[in-house]
């Protein structure tokens, strides 16, 4: 169980540019929950993920992963429990290193001497096996540098790296948004596959409402730094995009506005 209590985050506090990005977020994430996160522009979706990962300090609130209170843990320490995949395929991997060196680093997450980039033969066999699951032929390119890969190949590799050592929670921040539609679909299918096979707990920010309804067992909608909708199970699977927009209107009394949100 991951518990987020009364999470508050302000940017530029005390200045004219002050923004209340998270206005008291409460969320209990059950083990195995795959939660899609939607919301209008500036709703606080990325900030929530950044605060969870420890990239931004919070004003107040509490974050617990199981029995561990991680509120004051620095980002690198949280990275032993939390994996992330960003929108930019360049962020999750190290371009100058080879595929196997990247995987070796990911495989040592949370262990001492985590930055040794040597590769053991037994690990190499494991990497080959894991890579072959991607169906991209990367298992035959272990020594190629990651900088040679396409955006989609790189994002697929990032996903594999993020889940090689099972994280307590996987954070996906619009991780297919920068890919062409066909590649985005492949990476999304891989995401579903990895999450299902490993029974991962995941939070996935998406700007695609239909995707948010199709994937995962639970959906939350953020608005102005608050969770304004939290649906799961049958209720979620029965919902349509129109239902979501209506719910938003019912709660906020205004139309859902996003220049990037795909409403179809
Ligand atoms: N590093 C930052 N410095 C200052 N303000 C920020 C920063 N990051 C986010 N904000 C502000 O906090 C609010 C929430 O932003 P956030 O990026 O979390 O929204 P979002 O829901 O991910 O939006 P979008 O869908 O547009 O990416 C916005 O008003 C944004 O301008």
Q: For position 167, what pLDDT does the model report?
A: 95
Q: For position 258, what pLDDT does the model report?
A: 61
Give the single-character DSSP code of 1: -
What's the CA-to-centroid distance between 42 and ligand 1, angstroms?
Answer: 5
The residue ranges of every structural domain in the chain are: 1-73+198-264
What's the CA-to-centroid distance between 103 and ligand 1, angstroms?
Answer: 31
- The percent helix, strand, coil of the chain (3-state, each to 5) is 35, 25, 40
Q: Is the pLDDT of residue 123 over 90?
A: no
Task: For domain 1-73+198-264, give the CATH superfamily.
Answer: P-loop containing nucleotide triphosphate hydrolases (3.40.50.300)
Mean local confidence (pLDDT), 19-45: 95
Integer angstrom CA distances of residue 183 from 107, 154, 175, 178, 179: 25, 11, 11, 10, 6
Mutate to test the pocket of ligand 1, among 15, 20, 46, 175 (most ligand atoms within 8 A of CB): 46
Given a contact cutoff of 8 angstroms between Cβ atoms, the answer to whether 162 and 85 are in contact is yes
ipTM for this model: 0.97
Q: For position 245, what pLDDT does the model report?
A: 86
Q: In this predicted structure, which of 8-12, 20-24, 135-139 has the lowest mean pLDDT? A: 135-139
Please give the model's pTM, rounded to 2 decimal places: 0.91
Given a contact cutoff of 8 angstroms between Cβ atoms, the answer to whether 248 and 229 are in contact is yes
Name every residue whose Cβ is closer than 8 Å to that of residue 88 and which is 6 or more positions away in sequence. Answer: 178
> 158 by DSSP, 3-state: which?
helix
What's the CA-to-centroid distance between 229 and ligand 1, angstroms?
Answer: 19
> Residue of the nearest CA to atom 9 in ligand 1?
47
Q: Is the pLDDT of residue 112 over 70?
A: no
> 219 by DSSP, 3-state: which?
strand
Q: For position 135, what pLDDT does the model report?
A: 83
Given a contact cutoff of 8 angstroms between Cβ atoms, the answer to whether 58 and 7 are in contact is yes
Ligand 1 binding pocket, CB closer than 6 Å? 11, 19, 21, 39, 41-47, 260
58-72 pLDDT, tens digit per residue, is 999 999 999 999 999
Atom of ligand 1 nearest to the CA of 12: 4
- Name the band, by pLDDT with cuts 50, 70 and 90, for residue 122: confident
């Amino acid at each position: 169980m991951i518990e987020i209590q009364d999470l508050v985050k302000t940017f530029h506090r005390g200045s004219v540019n002050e923004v209340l990005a998270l206005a008291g977020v409460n969320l209990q994430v059950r083990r195995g929950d795959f939660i899609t996160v939607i919301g209008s522009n500036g709703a606080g979706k990325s900030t929530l993920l950044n605060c969870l990962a420890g990239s931004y300090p919070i004003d107040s609130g509490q974050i617990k992963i199981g029995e561990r209170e991680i509120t004051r843990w620095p980002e690198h320490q949280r990275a032993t429990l939390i994996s992330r995949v960003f929108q930019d395929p360049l962020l999750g991997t190290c371009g100058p290193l080879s595929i196997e060196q990247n995987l070796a680093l990911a495989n040592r997450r949370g262990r001492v001497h985590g930055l040794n980039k040597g590769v053991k033969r037994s690990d190499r066999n494991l990497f080959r096996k894991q890579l072959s699951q991607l169906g991209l032929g990367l298992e035959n390119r272990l020594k190629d540098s990651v900088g040679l890969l396409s955006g989609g190949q790189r994002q697929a590799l990032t996903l594999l790296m993020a889940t090689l050592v099972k994280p307590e929670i996987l954070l996906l921040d619009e991780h297919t948004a920068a890919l062409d539609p066909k590649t985005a679909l492949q990476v999304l299918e891989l995401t579903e596959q990895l999450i299902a096979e490993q029974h991962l707990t995941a939070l996935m920010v998406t700007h695609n409402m239909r995707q948010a309804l199709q994937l995962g067992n639970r959906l939350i909608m953020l608005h102005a730094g608050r969770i304004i909708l939290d649906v799961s199970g049958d209720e979620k699977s029965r919902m349509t995009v129109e239902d979501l927009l209506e719910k938003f209107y019912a709660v906020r009394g205004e139309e859902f506005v996003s220049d990037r949100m795909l409403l179809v």
